[in-house]
């Protein structure tokens, strides 16, 4: 390391490591509030904003709740997303493929215009990157890989050392670097990790019948299968597929020809959308549930998948991460108003208290659903069917579940409440 490299650059107020949707959202929120922020990402370059949301849909999509949309609208990212490609859904159908139980949800019943949007991750990230470029207090660094982390620095400054030796300092360093977070490991934070025994098979299909803005999910003996509605150039006959199943079945499915996989998908969904044509490759992603033992250390915090990774059963993963970003930013900004450093232990402990319990409850809920619907015992099959049918008839319980699905639960940060923010420009 040269003498020049050994010296730290001008300090920031926060360093966010990981430029995905959650990290970019956090950097936007902090930058919008006027904090000096460095956003570090290992990718070599930003996304091609002109290409995002054009052509064939990306395999990586997220089901964004109305609460997440409100957050993205407040940051000024949503108009660019809507101009590209977002696919609204107003209805949800959930049924047991092993029996007759079924429950149907609608936006009208939930008291919202829409239940959510299926959005390609590239579309969301490209819009956020465009907003970041307009924030003068945010420095975005690509091809920036962290080699060392020092959270034991004297005083309130924490240090990251990049490959090549450059040192960056801030009172707060945030890990938003994914489920296998190297930064979390360097901070010495353990996780509770459990292999769910399932693998998600993801692909994109075109169906013979219009999906009608309905998100469909069927529980099969090996796991849930979701058909998530996409609208491609006005054609409402595309769906993103997430089929959670056993490793053996995932291996079999991904080895099938496109025609055979389409036939398997059509049969699994009981031909509710007619013939299914696979229009992209099929990928298999192991599903491992993780939850960090701690969300914070002195001057250090975890957000998004670095803090928790959840089964895709309810499509809540990115929404939980966006909520992490909104709550952490709110606590940092409020602490700053009271004269506290962004890395102050009181600021970070408030963030951890607000988010860890909610995330843990959602992880437990999804795990319970997975275990219940994966059970083959006849008595549990009957219970599932009675339960689903009962939910469809019981208004209060149904409204509670819809609140969970739309993100309207607990104390929402100001950035996620209607009319709480103006244009971020």
pLDDT in tens, 281-339: 999 999 888 999 999 999 999 999 999 987 665 556 799 999 999 999 999 999 999 99
User: Helix/strand/coil (H, E, C) string of the chain?
Assistant: CCHHHHCECCCCCEEEECCCHHHHHHHHHHHHCCCCEEEECCCCCCCCCCCCCCCCCCCCEEEECHHHHHHHHHCCCHHHHHHHCEEEECEEEEEECCCCCEEEEEHHHHCCCCCEEEEEHHHHHHHHHHHHCCCCCEEEECCCCEEEEECCCCCCCEEEEECCCCEEEECCEEECCCCCCHHHHHCCCCEEEEEEEEEEEEEEEEECCCCCCEEEEEEECCEEEEEEEEEECCEEEEEEEEEEECHHHHHHHHHCCHHHHHHHHHHHCCCCCCCEEECCCCEEEEEEEEEECCCEECCEEECHHHCEECCHHHCCHHHHHHHHHHHHHHHHHHHHHCCCCCCCHHHHHHHHHHHHHHHHHHHHHHHHHHHHHHCCCHHHHHHHHHHHHHHHHCHHHHHHHHHHHHCCCCCCCHHHCCCCCCCCC
pLDDT at 322: 97
Q: Does residue 301 lie within any of the structural domains?
A: yes
pLDDT at 54: 85
Q: Does residue 180 lie within any of the structural domains?
A: yes
**Both tokens assigned to 325:** 């970003």
Query: Does the model's pTM come out above 0.85?
Result: yes
pLDDT at 391: 44
Domain span including residue 78:
3-86+118-194+290-374
Name residue 175's beta-bridge partners.
Answer: 17, 302
Instruction: Provide the number of structural domains found in the chain.
Output: 1
Q: Does residue 279 lie within any of the structural domains?
A: no
Per-run averaged pLDDT (10 residues), the chain, 425 residues:
43 96 98 97 91 88 94 96 95 81 83 92 97 97 95 77 94 96 96 88 97 94 92 94 95 98 98 98 92 96 94 72 97 97 97 91 64 46 47 49 65 78 37
pLDDT at 219: 86
Q: Does residue 299 lie within any of the structural domains?
A: yes
**Both tokens assigned to 5:** 């490299």
Looking up residue 71, the CATH number of its domain turns out to be: 3.50.50.60
Q: Does residue 318 lie within any of the structural domains?
A: yes
Q: Does residue 162 lie within any of the structural domains?
A: yes
pLDDT at 184: 97
Q: Does residue 407 lie within any of the structural domains?
A: no
Q: Does residue 247 lie within any of the structural domains?
A: no
């Amino acid at each position: 390391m040269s003498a020049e490299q050994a010296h730290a650059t001008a300090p920031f107020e926060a360093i966010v490591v990981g430029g995905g949707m959650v990290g970019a959202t956090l950097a936007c929120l902090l930058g919008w509030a006027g904090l000096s922020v460095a956003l570090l990402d290992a990718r070599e370059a930003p996304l091609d904003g002109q290409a995002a949301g054009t052509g064939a849909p990306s395999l990586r999509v997220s089901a964004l709740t109305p609460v997440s949309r409100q957050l993205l609208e407040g940051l000024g990212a949503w108009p660019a997303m809507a101009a590209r490609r977002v696919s609204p859904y107003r209805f949800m159908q959930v049924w047991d493929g092993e029996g007759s139980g079924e429950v149907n949800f609608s936006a009208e019943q939930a008291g919202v215009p829409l239940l959510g949007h299926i959005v390609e991750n590239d579309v969301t990230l490209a819009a956020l990157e465009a907003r970041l470029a307009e924030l003068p207090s945010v420095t975005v660094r690509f091809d920036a890989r962290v080699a060392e982390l020092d959270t034991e620095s004297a005083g309130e400054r924490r240090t990251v050392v990049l490959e090549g030796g450059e040192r960056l300092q801030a009172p707060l360093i945030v890990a938003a670097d994914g489920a296998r977070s190297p930064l979390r490991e360097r901070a010495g934070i353990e996780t509770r990790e459990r292999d769910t025994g399932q693998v998600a098979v993801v692909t994109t299909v075109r169906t013979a019948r219009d999906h009608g803005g309905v998100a469909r999910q069927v529980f099969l003996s090996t796991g849930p299968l979701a058909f998530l509605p996409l609208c491609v150039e006005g054609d409402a006959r595309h769906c993103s597929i997430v089929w959670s199943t056993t490793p053996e079945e995932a291996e079999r499915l991904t080895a099938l020809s496109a025609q055979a996989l389409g036939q398997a998908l059509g049969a699994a969904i009981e031909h509710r959308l007619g013939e299914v044509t696979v229009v992209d490759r099929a990928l298999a992603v192991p599903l491992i549930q993780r939850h960090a033992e701690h969300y914070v250390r002195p001057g250090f915090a975890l957000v998004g998948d670095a803090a928790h990774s959840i089964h895709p059963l309810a499509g809540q993963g990115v929404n939980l991460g966006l909520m992490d970003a909104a709550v952490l930013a709110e606590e940092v900004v409020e602490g700053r108003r009271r004269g506290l450093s962004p890395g102050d232990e009181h600021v970070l402990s408030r963030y951890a208290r607000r988010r860890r319990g909610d995330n843990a409850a959602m992880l437990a809920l999804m795990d319970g659903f997975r275990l219940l619907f994966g059970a083959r015992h006849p008595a549990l099959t009957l219970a599932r069917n009675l339960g689903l049918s009962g939910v469809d008839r019981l208004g209060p319980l149904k409204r509670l579940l819809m609140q969970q699905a739309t993100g309207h639960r607990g104390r929402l940060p100001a950035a996620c409440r209607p009319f709480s923010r103006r244009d971020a420009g």
